[in-house]
Amino acid sequence: ALASGSASLPNKARDIMSQIAEVNQEGTSRINVSGHTDNMPLVFGSQYRDNWDLAAARASSVVQELQSSGKIDGNRLQAMSFGEERPVDSNDTAQGRRKNRRIEIEINY
């Protein structure tokens, strides 16, 4: 899971991005990346304005990681933000919030 209030990718996520770039370097597949957050308000002074902004930064981090590999053209990548609006679990528990802080990657062949 992504750390609360952070758009930084853990090393494990970077390894996964490397594998995705390797497998999808040829062809015309489109890769859509969506960023999500839990419903916790950001702390005062955060570098992000709100959860929409944080989710956008998360998606952008993944897109930038994929593009920086040099294997996927930027015109095949799209970043989207859903903020806290599409939870996959309840935000009432720490475990649920952890599941909601995520990135989803959709590859269309």
Contacts of 51 (CB under 8 A, 6+ apart): 37, 38, 39, 41, 42, 83, 84
What CA–CA distances, in Å, run from 25 to 17, 34, 67, 90?
A: 12, 20, 10, 36
For the chain, the domain total comes to: 1
**pTM of the predicted model, to two decimals?**
0.93
Tens of pLDDT, residue by residue, the chain (109 residues)? 789 999 999 999 999 999 999 999 998 999 999 999 999 999 999 999 999 999 999 999 999 999 999 999 999 999 999 999 999 999 999 999 999 999 999 999 9
In a domain, 4, yes or no: no
How many secondary structure helices (H) and strands (E) does the chain include? 3, 3
User: Can you tell me the distance from the alpha carbon of 99 to that of 36, in angstroms, rounded to the nearest whole number?
Assistant: 10
In a domain, 2, yes or no: no
In a domain, 83, yes or no: yes
